[in-house]
A and B are shown apart, each in its own frame.
Chain A
Amino acid sequence: MIADDMRMKDHPILGEISKGRPVEFTFDGKTLTGYEDEPIAVALKAAGLMVHRYTSKHRKPRGIFCAIGRCTDCVMIVDGRPNVRTCVTPLREGMDVRTQYGVEAK
């Protein structure tokens, strides 16, 4: 099921919100659904997930901050690669997305 708590269906100016094809991916091993090509971070946000990673030094939680690929706060482990900017990386079917601890997965 597409998590849609935070998704808009209709907008006063933009009209009906149409997205691409629903695809399944995993977040820390749990199956979620998002829309193909939307940024990974958006699919996670829609599912209500806030924490993308815990920092190297102080192990503090981080999430979306700039949402345009500049600040690099939202990085996660995607398909085994660390430090992937989820706000600008398009979601694909079957992606393995994991919370990043420092620069590694748990």
Chain B
Amino acid sequence: MNRYEFIVIGAGPAGLSGAIEAAKAGMKVLVIDENHRPGGQLFKQIHKFFGSREHKAKIRGFMIGEKLLEEATSLGVEVRLDTTVMGIYKNREIICTKDDKIEHIKGDHILVAAGASENMIPFEGWTLPGVIGAGAAQTMMNLHGVRPGNKILMVGSGNVGLVVSYQLMQAGCDVVAIIDAAPRIGGYGVHASKVARTGVPFHLSHTVVKANGDDHVTSATIGKVDSNWKIVEGSQKTLEVDTICIAVGLSPMSQLLRTAGCLMAEVPQKGGLIPVCSDYTQTSLPGIYAAGDVAGIEEASSAMIQGRIAGAQAARNSGYISDEEFLVRVTDLKKSLGQLREGMFGHEMKGRTDIVKTEEGFTLSKSLLEKGYIDESELASFPAAAACENEYEVHPIIECTQNIPCNPCQDVCSKGCIIVGDKITKLPIISDTATCTGCAMCVASCPGQAIFLVKKSEDGSAIISLPYEFLPIPQKGDKGMALDRKGESVCEAEVVLVQSAKALDHTVVLSIMVPAKYADKARFFRAGGEKL
């Protein structure tokens, strides 16, 4: 029987990272994935990642996928695609299927990195064509270049719901609204803000009552829910949409681990049923490891580190690295993983709604949590978002108000203007001594698109530089409207500069000129009239 030292099931961020780590140590590695393209969800993630440099922050998911794949193949990892693992049996034997035959393969070690599956919520009409998972939307538009619909209702305001809403707009769809049964937005405030400033309304404490239509969705009825999750009578309204996109969380894809007989535990903060694992990803079955979403729902950045830990563990268990080497390696990895798990969105915090202040003691924006954008009046308490001493010099305004593990702004500022410090969940602050040159690297690099450059002029105008990732790209001289944080037009604006250097990685930095009194309001640009 064909045998490998390390079989990795799932070519996503965790699986590829595990394969790379093990192959580097000298193991014979096979990666299997049922998809036509490796990379797992990375290839659907076209946004820039959070984290720090070692977490590949500010790089877009699909680019990370390509890099991982390149690295894996250069290390001699065998990657089999369109190949489905049907089961894990005794003695770490697997059956996999490709085309019209099956093959039995054995692994000395097996890493299960099967990822996650989407949770769903049932409502009247949810089986109608046009009701889809958020993942389906991503797959269709980001992998296959087809819009999942024209007018979309997004159900769920977690990071997936927010990011996919943004991606839907990038694909040219109209996101009619984002709703969530919870009274607070679940995902990062910065993700919500970049959607809100384009004019997408948030309806919190709202749920889908019904998908309407005979053969496919023609509209959606939504309604307000009370504290017992019951629909408030008379609150129903109908939205004209052709697609209802569901993004209500993920569950670990634990089927393979369960059929193999791994000991499992129900851990709600990690998305449900997960394998009981050692600190180093080892399941209850010798030689079987689990990393990434299958071991508990987290971000892709965490999955990559977990994958590496699993790879290192397998390498140690098969004598390719010494215990000492292993410990050095995993100590670094663990530290890096620890960083990602900090902050108010770390998985320990999942489900907590009682956080009202940042680590620094600033009061969180209520408006951000409930409407998706920060109210101007709340901004003053955040030092990096407040107006600076000399408004006539170009300077960054950083509307980053939640403790998220992320520091590319600090990393890319060659002048040292922006300081996050060693603890990467801290909110960035502006240096008193360094001087901003207006290079706009921070604007393009911020994964949350929360940084703007502002410069007021003596003539009563102001120039706002903002991140822009939509088509068509406005041209210098274009006129349109400046929109505020909630996507409402505030004043006329003219594009005075369009920066699209390669280093900005497809985040165009638009500089628009507005009357100075709107400098603290204008955060988005809409060419021409009111609508995109």
Contact = CB atoms under 8 A, between A and B. Distances in A.
Interface of A: 6-8, 10-14, 17, 19, 37-39, 42, 45-46, 50-52, 55, 60-71, 73, 87-88, 90
Given A8-B147, A63-B216, A88-B34, 20 more contacts: A7-B145, A8-B145, A8-B146, A8-B171, A14-B46, A14-B62, A17-B145, A39-B144, A51-B129, A61-B128, A62-B129, A63-B128, A63-B129, A64-B136, A64-B148, A65-B132, A66-B118, A67-B135, A68-B136, A71-B133
Contacts of A51: 129, 215-216
A71 B142 CA distance: 20
A78 B470 CA distance: 38
Nearest to B148: A45
A14 B43 CA distance: 11
Contacts of B133: 65-67, 71
A52 B136 CA distance: 15
B117 interface: yes
Q: Which 9 A-B pairs have the closest CB atoms?
A: A63-B129, A67-B136, A17-B145, A50-B216, A50-B129, A67-B139, A42-B144, A13-B46, A6-B147
Nearest to B41: A68
Contacts of B135: 66-68
B146 A61 contact: no
Contact of A13 (B139, B145, B147, B469): B469
Nearest to A46: B146
A88 B473 CA distance: 34
B311 to A, nearest CB: 25
Interface string B460-481: 0000000001110100000000
A11 B471 contact: yes
Contacts of A12: 170, 469-471, 473, 506
Most chain A CB neighbours (cut-off 10 Å) among B136, B469, B471: B136
Interface of B: 34-36, 46, 60, 62, 117-118, 127-133, 135-137, 139-142, 144-148, 170-172, 215-216, 469-471, 473, 506
B3 to A, nearest CB: 28
Nearest to A39: B144
B524 to A, nearest CB: 15
Interface class of chain B by DSSP: loop
Contact of B36 (A6, A13, A61, A90): A90
Contact of A8 (B118, B131, B136, B172): B172
Contacts of A8: 141, 145-147, 171-172
29 contacts: A6-B148, A8-B145, A8-B171, A10-B471, A11-B170, A12-B170, A12-B470, A13-B170, A13-B469, A14-B62, A38-B144, A42-B140, A50-B130, A50-B216, A51-B216, A63-B129, A63-B130, A63-B216, A64-B140, A66-B117, A66-B136, A67-B136, A68-B35, A68-B135, A68-B139, A87-B139, A88-B34, A88-B35, A90-B36
A7 B147 CA distance: 6
A69 B35 CA distance: 9
Contacts of B137: 67
A87 B34 CA distance: 13
Contacts of A88: 34-35
A61 B298 CA distance: 35
Given A12-B469, A14-B46, A45 B146 contact: yes
A42 B172 CA distance: 17
A65 B473 contact: no
Contacts of A64: 129, 132, 136, 140, 148
A63 to B, nearest CB: 3
B132 A45 contact: no
A46 B147 CA distance: 8
A77 to B, nearest CB: 17
A11 B47 CA distance: 13
B118 to A, nearest CB: 7
A80 to B, nearest CB: 15
A67 B441 CA distance: 36
Contacts of A17: 145
Given A11-B471, A66-B135, A52 B144 contact: no
A19 B216 CA distance: 27
